[in-house]
Amino acid sequence: MEVKRIIPALDIQNGRVVSGINYINIRDAGDPVEATMHYCAEGADELVMLDIDASHEGRSTMLDVAARIAKASTIPLCVGGGVSSLDHIHDLLNIGADKVFLNSAAVRHPELIEESAKRFGSKAIVVAIDVKVEEDEYKIYINGGRVVTDKDPVEWAKEMEQRCAGELLLTSMDNDGVEEGYDLVITRRVADAVSIPVIASGGAGKLLDFSSAVLEGHADAMLAASLFHFRKLDIKTIKEHLHILGIPVRLPFERYMT
């Protein structure tokens, strides 16, 4: 079993970290640089930064905020929100991002995934997939969860792998911010359909949710936001829980030297 990653998400609005429920009911969650430094010290494996209004407003991700986060981070950083061109990907990687994720642009222009992977390498290109259940079927949404598409999540994930995406960020809009657990059904369906890593996102609320995402959902990494921002659960405790269950993680060394 590959090492599993714990990834805090920094959802950015007006230069601040924010948190919401089901993509609405947004509330302030602090300064992005302070949050970055905290998560790096706590043992996070990576960070994801999302400019939550960029796609909806038809603009690019805020480079200044991304640059400040990248400068403060000692772990890999993945940035997205409104990413729609090779030039924009280049700009984000140039200011310090290690990976860039695309969602709406990937749906509208799937060839962009191939082009960006060829230019920057597959490991730098992540495709975000936002899903919601509509009439007992999983539907993919774009534009920050505002526009539904006719894409099937499993088939879309397979296509993105074929187009050389290096990783998938799968978010359950129904579970987002609810803290009642990841959607293990769609996570497992997608993870079992592809060979590239799948990050489970949306719904983490307790220790068991993280181990279930691996053991039942077959996720390679678990992303969470409000759970971490409001100190309801810390990363070290989650990693200890996974370690005890025999799930490989990168352990915070300071707890295991005695």
The residue written with tokens 């678990």 in the block is 222
More confident residue, 176 or 199: 199
Catalytic residues: 11, 130
- Please give the pLDDT value at position 116: 98
More confident residue, 20 or 121: 121
pLDDT tens track for 193-202: 999 999 999 9
pLDDT mean across residues, the chain: 90
Q: Is the pLDDT of residue 59 over 60?
A: no
Per DSSP, helices labelled H in 52-144 are 54-57, 63-72, 86-94, 104-108, 111-120
What would the two tokens of residue 191 be? 């993870």
**What sign has the CA pseudo-torsion 152, 78, 30, 233?**
positive
Q: How confident is the model at residue 22 (pLDDT cuts 50, 70, 90)?
A: low
Q: How confident is the model at residue 94 (pLDDT cuts 50, 70, 90)?
A: very high
- Please give the pLDDT value at position 57: 54
The angle at the Cα of 84, spanning 76 to 128, to the nearest 5 degrees, equals: 50
pLDDT tens track for 65-91: 999 999 999 999 999 988 999 999 999
Q: Is the pLDDT of residue 120 over 60?
A: yes
Q: Which domains, ranges and CATH numbers included, belong to the chain?
A: 5-255 (3.20.20.70)
State the Cα–Cα distance between residues 21 and 137, nearest whole angstrom. Answer: 21
State the Cα–Cα distance between residues 232 and 210, nearest whole angstrom. Answer: 14
Q: Is the pLDDT of residue 55 over 60?
A: no
State the Cα–Cα distance between residues 19 and 225, nearest whole angstrom. Answer: 7
Work out the percent of the chain whose per-residue pLDDT is above 90: 74
pLDDT tens track for 231-240: 899 999 999 9
